[in-house]
Amino acid sequence: MKFWNPEKIPVILYEVFTKVEKLRELKGLKDLKVRAEGQIIILLMLFMIFELSGAALDLPARTLTVVTDQIGSGSVYAQADNLKAEERYNSVELEIFSWWTAPGEREGLDYLIYSFQEEYPEIEVVNAAVEGGAGVNAKDVLKIRLLRNIPPDTFQVHAGAELKDTFIAGDYLRPITELWQEQGWQEVFPEELQEMVRERGEYYSLPVTVHRSNRLWYNKEMLAEYGLKPPQSPEELTAVVKILAEEGETPLALSSRNLWPITHLFETLLAAEASPDQYRALVRGERSWKSPEVERTLEIMQKLLAHVNEDHASLTWHEASEMVLQQEAVMTIMGTWTRGYFAARSAVQNEDYGSVVLAGNNPSFLLVVDTFAMPSATENQDFTRKWLEFISRREIQEKFTEVLGASPPRSDISHEDLSSGVREDYLDLLDQEILPSIVHGAAAREVFVNALNEELNVFLYENNISGTMEVLNQLAEIYLKPLRGRR
């Protein structure tokens, strides 16, 4: 078995090699924490060398383990080696790959699997979920499996740039246009969502959840104790944070263990400070990242970060959310998957916690869309088709998204059947300005998101607004300009 398919050179590798010299020239990038990215580059280069030299024709499976041991103990890449070649496909198994492992997410996935197996008892479902919020670990394991030509039968992927610029461009997915037409999905999914999973007229994945990322969650008792209203704009937020800090509370729970929650905070504030047109121009590379709205966003972040929990570097997103439930912090900013987490912890909305949209004067819906796709190399196409058809059903999506705290992507669901919170987001999805999330794969290619995560992590500790703006603008020049004119 070959470990590298020369006909499918991944786009991410192309980007690394074509941009590395430019990155070296950028002032300030030398301080980025790029150790993890460097490990990926080393691993991919070794695989290419083996392929070009012919050594990969019969490379022992233990080689990957040796390499990952050398570049870092406990590396997630070692997980991709667990599958032996002879175990790649099983005629009665359906392997489902995702990152739904946190409370709320796990229960939602369990519901899907249990319900599917009730209808198809002859199919054994393998839950191949990899722990790590926003797919921080799962995506790396998935890429190695795709490179080694041992894909799962279906996998979770964010709609938009993440889907298109990595997996479709790398030729790792099989179009499912025929299934879309057969099931009549064009009639029930909004055009905005269809565009996010469609490329050159072909459909490549199926939306299963729509999360809203620009929400603030708060402990109702703590805010009421100080007579404060939940802030709904960046200006209100900084004022409330200042008051709570003076009272000796931890105003805002942050998690930076996986880096992306810092960018999540940044993009939420940016969408509130920028007009919708300015926001779209920024993510398309059509507007300078040294613009006033970016500067204001960083200034607000600077004020907020002075009053977050000291242990943020050791926490995941749901651990920061738990601080709100335990009254260890008053508020946190996170997506609607927090609603699912709180429900799994038996917390009751409007009793134990409250939530508001943080959008300021620009009412908008920051969009995160989870989808499932069919890898081009899978041999269990019939099982994957059954899975996609099953999770597309109206009753399944309604119940599943309720567990996760998300909005159903189908537009033919009655909002009256949805619970409080989910109902409001669902109505806003159909009515408000839709903006694509940066950090969750909708708006920008993954290589830009990773670099943005790293630079904002530097900002977290150095608080250098002008230096950060300079680097962000340089990153946008490199990674966002090519996205102009995409259809």
pLDDT digits (tens, 9 = 90+) for 383-429: 999 999 999 999 999 999 999 999 999 999 999 999 999 999 999 99
- Split at pLDDT 50, 70, 90, the class of 375 is very high
Query: How many Cβ atoms from other residues are within 10 Å of residue 182's Cβ?
Result: 11
pLDDT (mean) for 20-31: 39
pLDDT in tens, 248-272: 999 999 999 999 999 999 999 999 9
- What residues have CB less than 8 Å from 424, skipping those under 6 apart? none
Region for 285 from its dihedrals, namely left if φ exceeds 0, alpha if ψ lies in -120 to 50, beta otherwise: left
Q: Which two tokens stand for residue 165?
A: 């610029």
Residues of the chain with pLDDT > 90, as a percent, come to 76
pLDDT (mean) for 297-323: 98
- Split at pLDDT 50, 70, 90, the class of 322 is very high
Among the listed residues 438, 437, 439, 402, the one whose alpha carbon sits nearest the alpha carbon of residue 423: 402
Maximum alpha-carbon separation in the chain = 70
- What residues have CB less than 8 Å from 38, skipping those under 6 apart? none
- Split at pLDDT 50, 70, 90, the class of 323 is very high
pLDDT of residue 54: 38
Q: Which two tokens stand for residue 113?
A: 């699997």
pLDDT in tens, 434-449: 999 999 999 999 999 9
pLDDT (mean) for 167-174: 96
CA dihedral sign of residues 333, 335, 337, 340: positive
> Among all chains, which residue has been given the structure tokens 């006033």?
292
The Cα–Cα gap between 191 and 203 comes to 12
- pLDDT over 60 at 77, yes or no: no
pLDDT of residue 87: 47
SS3 state at 434: strand
One-letter amino acid of 405: G
Average pLDDT, the chain: 85
Q: Which helix (H) or strand (E) holds 154?
A: strand 154-158
Q: Which helix (H) or strand (E) holds 364?
A: strand 364-373
- Split at pLDDT 50, 70, 90, the class of 42 is very low
- Split at pLDDT 50, 70, 90, the class of 45 is low
Give me the CATH code for the 215-366+441-483 domain, please.
Answer: 3.40.190.10
pLDDT of residue 91: 64
Q: Which helix (H) or strand (E) holds 205?
A: strand 205-212
pLDDT of residue 133: 78
The Cα–Cα gap between 338 and 137 comes to 19
SS3 state at 307: coil
- pLDDT over 90 at 58, yes or no: no
pLDDT in tens, 192-231: 999 999 999 999 999 999 999 999 999 999 999 999 999 9
- What residues have CB less than 8 Å from 149, skipping those under 6 apart? 1, 2, 3, 5, 377
Residues of the chain with pLDDT > 70, as a percent, come to 80
Model confidence, pTM: 0.83
Among the listed residues 29, 476, 458, 439, the one whose alpha carbon sits nearest the alpha carbon of residue 266: 439
pLDDT (mean) for 94-107: 96
pLDDT in tens, 274-303: 999 999 999 999 999 999 999 999 999 999
The Cα–Cα gap between 359 and 270 comes to 9
CATH architecture of 83-206+372-409: 3-Layer(aba) Sandwich (3.40)
pLDDT of residue 167: 96
Region for 373 from its dihedrals, namely left if φ exceeds 0, alpha if ψ lies in -120 to 50, beta otherwise: beta
Q: Range(s) for CATH 3.40.190.10 in the chain?
A: 83-206+372-409, 215-366+441-483
pLDDT (mean) for 173-186: 98
Q: Which two tokens stand for residue 292?
A: 């006033």
